[in-house]
Amino acid sequence: MNFDPREAAMHGIVASMRFPGPDYCEVLRWLHQDLLPESYLEIGVFRGHSLSLAMPPTIALGIDPCPEVDDRWRTETHVPRMPSSEFFAKHTPEEFFRTDRFSFAFVDGLHQFEQTIEDIFSLEVYAQPESVVAVHDTMPLDEKTPRGTAAQNFIRGTSGR
């Protein structure tokens, strides 16, 4: 299956029609404002748009093997460059936060069902009863969406089956 950028653009248009409402970054902005988390952990940073929503005094941790970020953050932010599986095998959030627990987490990694579940299970160990976990790209737009390659799924946006 070859990737066609025109198909990705059309997919975005159809997605906005089928799933109307605010953009996910707007929802994350609201969550940051309402929760005022002490710590924020993000899996899947890419260009850092959602990670940059963290505000002081939040300490942010963004995990991504190859983020495309410029390191201009509004608050203390750490971006270990590694896959989330490797991060949780070698590190704990406590190495970056002032606690071994996170307040708010956002999963937007590989957009593959199995990896998303693994990320959620890894986060569960460091959750507290009042922790909030947001997960992006979990509802396939159509039957074809979850069948693409990882690169296509990133554009198409799904970790659902």
What's the CATH number where 130 sits?
Answer: 3.40.50.150
Domain that holds residue 96: 20-67+74-138
Checking if the pLDDT of 11 tops 80, the result is: no
Can you give the pTM of this predicted structure? 0.84
CA distance linking residue 81 with residue 84, whole number of Å:
9
- Domain membership of residue 7 (yes or no) is no
- Domain membership of residue 39 (yes or no) is yes
- Domain membership of residue 85 (yes or no) is yes
Checking if the pLDDT of 156 tops 50, the result is: no
Count of domains observed in the chain:
1
Q: Are residues 145 and 153 in contact, defined by beta-carbon separation less than 8 angstroms?
A: yes
- Domain membership of residue 109 (yes or no) is yes
CA distance linking residue 120 with residue 101, whole number of Å:
14
- C-alpha distances (whole Å) from 95 to each of 78, 88, 92, 98 are 10, 11, 6, 8
- Per-residue pLDDT, averaged over 106-127, amounts to 92
- Domain membership of residue 151 (yes or no) is no
Q: Are residues 41 and 123 in contact, defined by beta-carbon separation less than 8 angstroms?
A: yes
Bridge partners of residue 131, in order along the sequence: none
- Domain membership of residue 121 (yes or no) is yes
- Per-residue pLDDT, averaged over 91-118, amounts to 92
Q: Which of 63, 33, 37 is nearest to 48 (CA)?
A: 63
Residue 149 — very low, low, confident or very high, per pLDDT cuts 50/70/90? low
